[in-house]
Structure 1
């Protein structure tokens, strides 16, 4: 239909882009939470919270939005923070725009732009250009809007601010549609959609869906337009953005109007008009009343069309929107002509011709193309500059890396030299200290051994002079008693002989002890000699027993006095046990070395015994105790009628300081 060539444009997206919420919580709950938080915050942070509260109120209650915008601006001015003052000035512009106070909005945005340029803050500069562009669009200055968006978008791209890049694309797409640049409109909508979907920003995705619904209306794809608009409407309604449901409802009304479904179209027009009237939005009301007037004109309801058309003209004049002054006056001229009031018809026809906007002429379209070309050229230049900066950064990184490598290498080399020097010095000191410690230990050991040796000699002298002489006196006394008691009975004589024999054995053992005490070290040859001496004595006291001694050890193998004495005593105890209990005719003693150990084997061919059923008594306990003192072992193997073997094992070591 011809009257739909004056299309409805979705300016609401600019307000939505200022909101920063992506969840489904109700706005009132979020606002209440922010109010509570603000009470405890410091002034600078409180300003930012006030701005956030104002943004949330923008979609619910404009009076409250204004209140918090003013609070934020006054507090930022009071604390003298330049950045916050710019931000709050910008917020005042947002409120004024949403309240359809476009001259005030422009004033605030231009003021924030001036302060941002002075402060040289790229983000704030881009935000100010974007704010001016949105107001230009609301006033029907689409060329001015597009120009300002092309100023803001490259700055956002240079800053890699993806969210504001997407918002810039979205704003630009809206105005490109208004000047019938449909291909570019779809392109920038899709570019914005890609970013918002990646960010999961469902609010702006809904806004884009509604914009695409408008484009589908332009291309007469009305069923698809209704589907997209319904999706957007559902999201706005479910998330309490009631104010913004007016925009998809308007697109739905246009679709049903174009599909020649006047009842559905009228229902949606009236609902959209109700919402925009509540929110005092003259731009949207000018468009809606004009579209609704045309719907009545088509139904030949000319008086109703005239009444509604006059409302459209009234709203258009309120904001000097030449586009809608032209379209509504044209509808009025046609309607008056139908009721044959040619004077009124001619009046509105002249108004239509005089106010016909030049925005859609070829010259202006050419200007838009030039702006787009400038943007593309600027974008490429920015990319080239960024590439050069990246190359310079990489070169600088490489040079710095090389320099750091050299510095690090030099530092490591110096550290290595210092560490090596310190290590050698430490090792030298350590060796010197160890030598001093070893010398002190050696001197201490020598002194201790000398004292021990002196103590041994003193004890051995005492044993020899006192106990030895006393034992010898006992033997002499016993022998004298034997002669003086010739007539004594045999039993008494046997007792005296036993005492004399026991005392003699004690003297021999005492001599062995004195022998061991007088030596620091005992060689294997000393032990061998003592064993042979003991065997000779055993031979004289026994009959019919053969003694065999096998000796296969390096004669200078050294034992400590304790080791030598304990080995000899164990051998002595083993031979005595064989003499007393074995009833043997042969006793064999073997001494040899095996795998670093001294092995002593005492074997008899006596009657043997069952180890499990015999109490071995103190003899074995004494042998085991002596061996444990020198880390040795004693094993007994015996079988009845096959004899007994006592096996002694002692690890050989060159320890010469044991007592």
Structure 2
């Protein structure tokens, strides 16, 4: 009886919470806990206390969130544990402690996936994408946002689908694709307006105004900022007011309305401090710093600049760091401190180049296209499933009708009919089994593709960015310190060249990882590009590339086989250039019965295998050929040249 009363109080509290203020709700929740209810009710109360304390006392919110997590683990309540990770992650996200938030979100996602809670997983994909968006890792942001969008569209959840499209549009804005972002925001605003959904509509108007501002249309920008402010003020949306006041103030600053700009940005800062929004505080602080720079109030500008620098580095947001480096360069220019200007200009350029690299833009586009392709594939599978179901129903009706007719005509053939019906049923079960196997195969391929994409993205984001940083550092050393030591200069140039070659090798590896199969045409194109590059870097060297016309361009190899062939040919050409001192190199593809033969011939100085210690390169070539079941033969004669032959069996 006691637990029923507690449950009733808890349900009554849940339905009435929207009409009470946070303090009353918190008191009610504490009263529920004081009755010492069953553990599942305690977990729900702790979780709600964490939520309602988040804007009042972060310490209290963390305390109750950790209680919910500890109790959930103790009684093995997976739903409660996942919710606790989510609530704690939101707290750290709000204070811009993104690494902690990301770790908690990932733990919650693992449990949601284990429980097959697709909507819970979608919410966490969205939150993880927002972290990457705020830290300006836009390829990862696009990856997680599209995963969340796909789930919400599958569930026909219009509101959350619109929210995800809004996030994706903001990613396009971050990549300076302003027209694309604007069109998406206008579409979303139209739907929100028709639904009278004012909170997302406020955000949409703010985003539209931002897009128009980047497109230099200040008239429409002001129009939509005012629309956003009107709705937010009417409904007391403090978080949204903080954002739009900050943006509108920046626009007024650009029009030299410093009084209005100061008013709106200062009010934004007040709201963001109330919300404990570190990202927003840093953004508003940097806007105020810009205002003081325009007004030549250098003391106030310096105070806000270093406050903004501290916060942007603490929360590690690249977008804010770019802004503060740019403003610090301006500040020291006004102070006539040339060394500091150069220092912050270099920091600004280095960070900006790393963010807006061509490869990042390309990978974001690839993620978007893969999402679109998956969506189209799902629609095709759905149509096929509908057709199969209709065909199955038709066959069943025909079977039943046939049975009734035959039963009416003669009972003597009843046994025969039963046999035919059982045979048809077995056939149908076989068909259904084949369909299930096909679906399992498709799901496995999708998981493999996601794993390949994740590995290639990690290679690019981590190793690629580190190699690019090495090249940038070497170039800064060369040009920044004006090194006159010729030997050191050559050494730095050599290191830079080696690093660039490593990047090319990394791109080749990523290219192979992103393909299930490699066609002969892909291989031909890749080798031609490599030959073109080698031709440019080696003067007096003549390359010829020939392919047997009987070989189909659609001939396919596995990604491992294709990459191994490419590496063997690449190593052969490099050896001809570096060691053979060749003036002519021929690369030939031939068809021999059920084999394909690759020939690499040069007119270099050659060598005697019995007299020369074989290099790692040649040993690696033999090893690669053996792994893919190919035969590798090296024919070389001193003074005449070298011929390397690869014979690979294939099915025409």
**TM-score of the superposed pair, with normalisation by structure 2:** 0.53
1:136-147 equivalences under 5 Å are 136-147=132-143
Does the aligned pair in 2 maintain the 1:162–1:195 contact within 8 Å? no
Q: Size of the alignment, in residue pairs? A: 394
Give the one of 103, 117, 126 matched to 2:122.
126
Asked if the contact 2:55–2:275 (Cα under 8 Å) also holds between the matched residues in 1, the reply is: no
Matched, 1:295 2:291: yes
1:26/1:239 contact within 8 Å kept? no
Q: Taking structure 1 as reference, are residues 53 and 23 closer, same or farther at Cα in structure 2, changes over 3 Å only?
A: closer
Aligned 1:173-322 pairs, distance under 5 A: 173-193=169-189, 196-197=192-193, 199-322=195-318
Match of 1:94 among 76, 86, 90: 90
Distance 1:83 1:300, change over 3 A: same
Q: Distance in 2 between matches of 1:140 and 1:113?
A: 22
Distance 2:136 2:362 in 1: 18
SS across alignment from 2:149:
helix
1:28 equivalent in alignment to 2:9: no
Task: Provide the secondary structure at the position in 2 that maps to 1:300.
Answer: coil
User: Unaligned regions of 5+ residues in structure 1, if any?
Assistant: 1-19, 412-659
Which whole-Å deviations, capped at 9, do the CAs of 1:36-60 have from their partners, x for residues lacking one?
8966886546645654565455566
- Judged with a 3 Å threshold, the aligned counterparts in structure 2 of structure 1 residues 302 and 90 are, in CA distance, closer, same or farther, namely same
CA deviation after TM superposition for structure 1 residue 249, in Å: 0.8
The two structures, once aligned, show a CA RMSD in angstroms of 3.8
- C-alpha displacement at 1:79, in angstroms? 3.5
Q: How does 1:193-592 map to 2 (within 5 A)?
A: 193=189, 196-197=192-193, 199-396=195-392
Residue 484 of structure 2 corresponds to which residue in structure 1? Answer: none
Mapped to 2, the partners of 1:237 and 1:63 lie a distance apart of: 30
What is the Cα deviation at residue 256 of structure 1? 1.0
The 1:214/1:406 distance shift into structure 2, 3 A limit, reads farther
CA distance in 1, matches of 2:403, 2:52: 55
Please state how far the C-alpha of 1:146 moved relative to its aligned partner. Answer: 1.4
Counterparts of 2:223 and 2:134, CA distance in 1: 26
Q: How far apart are 1:398 and its partner, in Å?
A: 5.2
Structure number with the bigger relative contact order (C-alpha 8 A, sep ≥ 6) is 1
Q: Distance in 1 between matches of 2:335 and 2:300?
A: 12
Q: Does 1:163 align with 2:181?
A: no
Structure of higher CA gyration radius: 1
User: Aligned-pair distance for 1:177?
Assistant: 1.4
> 3-state SS of the aligned residue for 1:364?
helix
Deviations 1:443-473 (A, max 9, x none): xxxxxxxxxxxxxxxxxxxxxxxxxxxxxxx
State the SS of the aligned residue for 2:355. coil
Quote the Cα distance in structure 2 between the aligned partners of 1:109 and 1:409: 63
Supply the distance in 2 between the matched residues of 1:106 and 1:391 (Cα, whole angstroms): 43
- C-alpha change, 1:301 and 1:173, in structure 2 (3 Å) is same
- CA gap 1:105/1:206 in 2 versus in 1, 3 angstroms: same
Q: Runs of 5+ in structure 2 lacking a partner?
A: 1-13, 408-652
Separation of aligned partners in 2, 1:334 and 1:255: 19
Q: Structure 1 125/32 Cα, relative in aligned 2: closer, same or farther at 3 Å?
A: closer
Q: Which deviates further from its counterpart, 32-41 or 67-76?
A: 32-41
**The residue matched to 1:356 in structure 2 has which SS?**
helix
> CA–CA distance in 2 between the matches of 1:239 and 1:337?
44
Distance in 2 of aligned mates of 1:29 and 1:239? 20
Aligned to 1:84: 80
Q: Secondary structure at the match of 1:250?
A: helix
Deviations 1:270-291 (A, max 9, x none): 2222322343333233333333
SS at match of 1:343: helix
1:236-270 per-residue CA deviation (whole Å, 9 max, x = no partner) reads: 44444434421111121022112221110111122
TM-score, normalisation: structure 1: 0.53
